[in-house]
Chain A
Amino acid sequence: MRTILFIIQKEFRQIFRNKAMLPIIFVLPFIQLLILSNAASFEVKNIQFSYIDNDHSAASRELISKFQSSDYFKIIGNFESKKEANLQMEKGKVDVILEIPNHFERNLLTEKKTTLSVSINAIDGAAAGVENVYITQIIASFNQKIQSELYQYNDNSFVQPQNIVTIPSFWYNNTLNYKTLMVPGILVLLVTMLTLFLSAMNIVREKEIGTLEQINVTPIKKHQFIIGKLFPFWVLGLMILTVGLLIARIVFNIPILGNIGLIYLFTSVYLLVILGIGLFISNYTETQQQAMFIAWFFTVIFILMSGLFTPIESMPTWAQQLTLFNPIRYFVEIIRMVMLKGATFSDISRPFFIIAIYAFIINGFAVWSYKKTN
């Protein structure tokens, strides 16, 4: 135990002595949390809308004014020809072109049918899908209004259609605020990246500068060395989490419905998994460069397959099964459940035990693969 304390003391000294690293560890994550949390949103707004009005009728103007009054669309302007509009779309200046045909109003009244054409820049597929929904909704509501107006004038035999109404109700986040999802999520990513990178680099760094050999000729026990090495990063991870949670609460006003102790309980076990992975990488690499590259590889996979940015349910089955090995997946799941839904221990017991077993296995491997003798 005493021996471990000496190692911990030394590691902390080294962390705090490296003046270039301190801002990266203690400032950068929070700046990123503050900035990126505002950026990470799938909400589609400010859609660059343009139109070609070939009809110049009351109806066409009314339709356009519907788009004008919508919060989602920003009217860029009207074009004389399709060609000109298409060029602007190619340049990326325009997202949507609504083309109102000649005799739009006349056809609607006389033939009782007319067609609008809409072009959407689908270079960002996800956004284009949402834009399409908004456009369809606006046109449909315009259409309904026209129908009811015209029916009242012309048609007394009108039968009111049956209608199924959907009443949406968004639980835990009724304003559909992305920050409630992204702030905890990005916090998870930052805590993970920081502890993983630092631990993956740590032992291989001593290998590279030659001090590891000196350690290996001392009678120190493997577990003493490893615990002493990883403990400081474990503390660091919990510190970052604490400051991050404070920022979430105070700056972003994110609710913390559940028991905060649960988050700490889970994080302390979770960090063991991450540190174990870092140690494992450190053991199997010769240089910091290699270690970092492997850590980078896994981090990118862990982040993009965590369910934070894209839904896990939509992945093919094999990929969904792969995410079961992704520790970030569990952390994202749990921090959301506890903070936003107020889940209790019994609700998160399954992922908790999975992570605990994971921690046990990965650290077992890491300790086993750390060799004082080669």
Chain B
Amino acid sequence: MKRFIGFVTKEFYHIFRDKRSMFILFGMPIAQIMLFGFAITNEINNVNIAILDKSKDTKTQKIINKISASKYFYIEQEISSEYQIESIFKKGKVKAVLVFENHFVKNLQTQKQAKVQVITDATDPNIANTITNYVNAILQNHTQEINNTNQPAYQIQTQTQLYYNPELKSVFTFVPGVMTVILMLVSAMMTSISITREKELGTMEVLLVSPLNPLQVILGKVFPYIFLSIINATVIVVLGVFVFGMPIEGSILLLAFESILFIITALSLGILISTLSNSQQTAMMISLMGLMLPVIILSGFIFPLSSMPLPLQVISNIIPAKWFIIIIKAIMLKGASIEIIWKETLILIGMTLFFIVLSIKKYKIRLE
């Protein structure tokens, strides 16, 4: 045990003496969480649109004013013919064009119906769909105003309650997501690299012939990174709470326990990667190329998992980040206790054990 402590201390020195790495390890996650917390949002605001008003009367002008007053749209230009739409879309200047038909007012009064065409650049379906919905809402609202003299009866009203994130703040989704990406990649990447590095430099053999057993060697290598990742996780949570107003509805202890569990899962994945790679280069490419996009896309961080095709929902189960995102959101936003998230917790524990057992097996084969 004493030897082991000595070894761990050496590993700590190794990491902490290197100022540049220290700066990278602590500074970058903070920079990322601040940047993303402020900058990234799913909401759609200030979209550039163009107007083609064939009718040009006071009614259409009123509607246009209404649209330009909303925070969602910015009227970039008014165009005079349909032929221009193609070219402004191609240049990417605007995302949508609203076309008011000829004789808008006349149609509205005589036929009780007037048309607005909402042409969207649907290369990004999300934006296109949202724009259409917003325009719809503004126009509906306007229609109600026109008709307020004869308010229809038999009205069904809806009282909607949004649970856990009533203001639909996207930062509440991004803070847990970014935290997961950071912990996953830093832990997996750093351990896999630091172990393969010893292999590459030949110092691993020296350690293995020492009286320390292989398990102690690996634990010793991993231990400082557990410590580092805990600091990172703490900083991220603190920033989330104090800068971005994330609540912690549940128990902080449970949050800490789950975070440490996830860090250990990621580290054991890192160990597994190191047993699979012969060089630092391979270890890095596996952990970066192999983990980065799946963790961002298949974890529920950005894209809703439940809407994915079934095979992908099945695949997403093997991504540890998916389970951690569920857990952390449940604790912070829902105030969930362990009774609610025991299943996810068990899955993470199971994954960790699986990674460790597999690594030990691989390791033994190599040694023999």
Which of A's residues lie within 8 Å of B, judged by CB?
18, 20-21, 24-25, 28-29, 32, 35-36, 38-48, 89-92, 95, 108, 112-129, 132-133, 135-136, 139, 142-143, 146-147, 150-151, 155, 159-174, 176-178, 180-181, 186, 189-190, 193-194, 197-198, 201, 205, 285-290, 292-297, 299-301, 303-305, 309-311, 313-316, 319, 322, 333, 336-337, 340-344, 347
Contact = CB atoms under 8 A, between A and B. Distances in A.
A289 B18 CA distance: 12
B42 to A, nearest CB: 4
A315 B168 contact: no
A91 B123 contact: no
Interface of B: 20-21, 24-25, 28, 31-32, 35-36, 38-48, 63, 85, 87, 89-92, 95, 108-109, 112-129, 132-133, 135-136, 139-140, 142-143, 146-147, 150, 152-166, 168-170, 172-173, 181, 185-186, 189-190, 193-194, 197, 276-282, 284-286, 288-290, 292-294, 296-298, 300, 302-304, 306-309, 312, 315-316, 326, 329-330, 333-334, 336, 340
Given A43-B125, A172-B121, A292 B156 contact: no
Given A173-B128, A289-B21, A162 B334 contact: no
17 contacts: A25-B285, A38-B308, A39-B308, A40-B297, A42-B42, A44-B307, A112-B153, A112-B154, A123-B172, A136-B160, A177-B125, A190-B293, A193-B288, A289-B193, A290-B24, A305-B39, A347-B87
Contacts of B43: 314
A115 B159 contact: yes
A300 B32 contact: yes
Contacts of A310: 40-42, 302
A313 B48 contact: yes
B154 A143 contact: yes
Given A292-B189, A292-B288, A347-B91, A297 B24 contact: yes
Contacts of B165: 122-123, 125, 128
Most chain B beta-carbon contacts within 10 A, residue among A44, A92, A123, A155: A123
Contacts, number: 376
Contacts of A198: 285
B168 A122 contact: yes
Contacts of A123: 163-165, 172-173, 329-330, 333-334
Closest 4 interchain pairs by CB?
A319-B39, A170-B122, A173-B122, A125-B168
Contacts of B316: 39
Given A164-B142, A347-B91, A181 B154 contact: no
Contact of A159 (B32, B150, B278, B293): B150
Contacts of B160: 117-120, 132, 135-136
A176 B46 contact: no
Contact of A46 (B63, B142, B155, B307): B307
Contact of A313 (B45, B120, B306, B340): B45
Contacts of B143: 161-164
Given A40-B297, A162-B114, 6 more contacts: A32-B294, A35-B315, A123-B165, A124-B173, A170-B122, A171-B119
A111 to B, nearest CB: 10
A373 B92 CA distance: 47
Given A123-B333, A190-B293, A197-B288, A180 B161 contact: no
Contacts of B164: 121-123
B117 A125 contact: no
B125 A181 contact: yes
Contacts of B127: 311
A169 B284 contact: no
Contact of A113 (B63, B150, B157, B286): B157
Contacts of B119: 169, 171
Contacts of A89: 163
B116 to A, nearest CB: 5
B312 to A, nearest CB: 5
A300 B181 contact: yes
A18 B40 contact: no
A126 B300 CA distance: 12
A297 B197 contact: no
Contacts of B163: 89, 119-123
A244 B122 CA distance: 22
Contact of B129 (A150, A176, A300): A176
Contacts of A313: 44-48, 95
A292 B284 contact: yes
Contacts of A341: 89-90, 121, 123
B109 A162 contact: yes
Contacts of B122: 170-174, 176
A219 B59 CA distance: 77
Most chain B beta-carbon contacts within 10 A, residue among A117, A147, A167: A167
Given A29-B289, A124-B304, A142-B156, A90 B336 contact: yes
A104 to B, nearest CB: 9
A68 B329 CA distance: 29
Given A129-B168, A189-B293, A166 B118 contact: yes
Contact of B36 (A40, A205, A304): A304
A278 B317 CA distance: 34
Contacts of B333: 123
B302 A309 contact: yes
Contacts of A46: 306-307
Contact of B115 (A125, A167, A190, A295): A167
Given A289-B280, A342-B90, A176 B128 contact: yes
Most chain B beta-carbon contacts within 10 A, residue among A42, A316, A341: A42
Nearest to B315: A35
Contacts of A120: 160-163
A316 B38 contact: yes
A143 B112 contact: no
A24 B125 contact: no
B341 to A, nearest CB: 9
A314 B42 CA distance: 8
A289 B279 CA distance: 12
Given A44-B307, A311-B124, A166 B154 contact: no
A319 B34 CA distance: 11
Nearest to A118: B160
Contacts of B24: 290, 293-294, 297
A31 B24 CA distance: 31
Given A292-B284, A301-B35, A39 B156 contact: no
